[in-house]
Amino acid sequence: MEYEMRKLILNTVILLLLLISNSYGQLERSTSKVGTTAATFLKINAGARAIGMAGAFVAMENDIYSIYYNPAGLSRITGTGSAAFNHANWLADMSYDFAALSLNLGDIGSMALSLISFSVPEEKVRTFDNPEGDGRYWDASSLALGVSYARNLTDNFSIGFNFKYIRDQVWDMSASSFAIDAGTMYTTPFNGLRIGASISNFGTKMKLEGRNTYFNVDPNNNPNSGPNNIPAEYRLSYYDIPLSFRVGLAMEVIKSQLLTLTTSVDAVHPNDNTEYLNLGLELNFNNYFFARTGYKSLFLRDSEQSLTFGFGLNYPVFNDIGLSLNYGFADYGRLKNVQFLDLVVRF
């Protein structure tokens, strides 16, 4: 049994190393490549607790939002399971929602379903001849559906995977992709220090398709001779989705009966920007009230992101059922700010 477990851990590490090496092949570059990926809604961090800690969450445990940051953390959720809903009024009146349900299946592991939804409100279709609108309206939306699995291979080592379907839609055009997230988490003997690593959005490229690419053409530019009104189609390019590699640490530096202080730091390596750090703190008062702060995107080139903060409340309803309400605030500089609210039910 012990030999089989060691073999499974070794195979998992080898798989992750292969994914990482392939990822770095895509990530390696001499420029930042800002604005060169599709489905950028996948870069929006999930969960008000994580937002308050500046997204430094790859080594945090016992939280359903690990699905987004490091699916290995899913196996460390205590209890039978949990459900969560997160909403944010994003920049420029756009809307972001995240919902998830997880179940602890005992020795089999843990599984979860998740949904990310992002929408852009209707806008007038403006043309050169009709700058105030031609009577039509356009909108845009995106979604990601995920199925996650995680398991504790030992008391200290966990793995997790998230398989997802991604779809972007802009007016009459749409694109889709399939992707996988993979992660590991290890708890060291040193004061419960946790080390987490994950790869997010390792998947297929996306290309917009739809009726707006179809048109008719006269190759001779002469309607009176030769073939005319020939069906044609604009050729569009394929774009990568926002692949990223995270590695981080988290530890309870102060732990007493009434007070716990958790620190966390993540290093993030995306394929469409420069590397950066996220730093987070969480102060836990008797597991009822939580205060959080952090600094997001440290060292990121030309970043508008900086300070974050938030708070949370835990309330036991009855028996093993509890509610958590969390608020997160993120400063985006000249783009103002974004505020997150979420509700988590543990059972």
Name, in order, each residue with C-beta under 8 angstroms of 246's C-beta and a sequence gap of 6 or more: 58, 69, 70, 196, 197, 198, 199, 200, 266, 267, 268, 269
Residue 12 confidence class, pLDDT cut points 50, 70, 90: low
**What percentage of the chain carries pLDDT values higher than 90?**
57
pLDDT value of residue 134:
80
pLDDT value of residue 172:
85
Residue 293 confidence class, pLDDT cut points 50, 70, 90: very high
Do the Cβ atoms of 183 and 72 come closer than 8 Å? yes
Do the Cβ atoms of 338 and 307 come closer than 8 Å? no
**In the block, which residue shows the tokens 């205590």?**
78
pLDDT at 27 over 50: no
pLDDT value of residue 26:
46
Between CA 183 and CA 192, with CA 188 as vertex, the angle to 5 degrees is 105
Q: Alpha-carbon distance 146 to 19, whole Å?
A: 19
pLDDT at 52 over 50: yes
C-alpha closest to that of 214 among 229, 231, 230, 227: 231
DSSP-assigned beta bridge partners for residue 170: 140, 173
What is the 3-state secondary structure of 275-332? Answer: CEEEEEEEEEECCCEEEEEEEEEECCCCCCCCEEEEEEEEEEEECCEEEEEEEEEEEC
Q: Alpha-carbon distance 70 to 198, whole Å?
A: 5
pLDDT at 159 over 90: yes
Do the Cβ atoms of 102 and 112 come closer than 8 Å? yes
Do the Cβ atoms of 345 and 83 come closer than 8 Å? yes
Average pLDDT in the 14-36 region?
Answer: 54
pLDDT at 284 over 50: yes
Q: Alpha-carbon distance 276 to 296, whole Å?
A: 8
Tokens linked to 11: 């195979």
**In the block, which residue shows the tokens 């009822």?**
288
pTM, 2 dp: 0.83
pLDDT at 2 over 70: no
Q: How far apart are the first and last CA of the chain?
A: 32
Which residue ranges form the domains of the chain, and what is each CATH number? 2-28+53-205+240-346 (2.40.160.60)
- The DSSP result for 106-172, as a single string, is GGG-EEEEEEEEEEEEEEE---SS-TT--S-EEEEEEEEEEEEEEEESSSSEEEEEEEEEEEEEETT
pLDDT value of residue 130:
82
What is the CB neighbour count within 10 angstroms for residue 282? 24
Tokens linked to 182: 């993979």
Q: Alpha-carbon distance 168 to 39, whole Å?
A: 6
pLDDT at 303 over 90: no
Residue 250 confidence class, pLDDT cut points 50, 70, 90: very high
pLDDT value of residue 23:
46
Task: Indicate the average pLDDT of the chain.
Answer: 86
Residue 52 three-state SS: helix
Q: Phi and psi dihedrals of 80, rounded to 5?
A: -75, -35
C-alpha closest to that of 147 among 201, 102, 184: 102
Q: Alpha-carbon distance 243 to 237, whole Å?
A: 18
- For 107-155, write each residue's pLDDT tens digit: 899 999 999 999 998 888 888 888 887 888 888 999 999 999 999 999 8
Tokens linked to 57: 């969450």
For the chain, helix (H) and strand (E) counts, in that order, are 3, 17
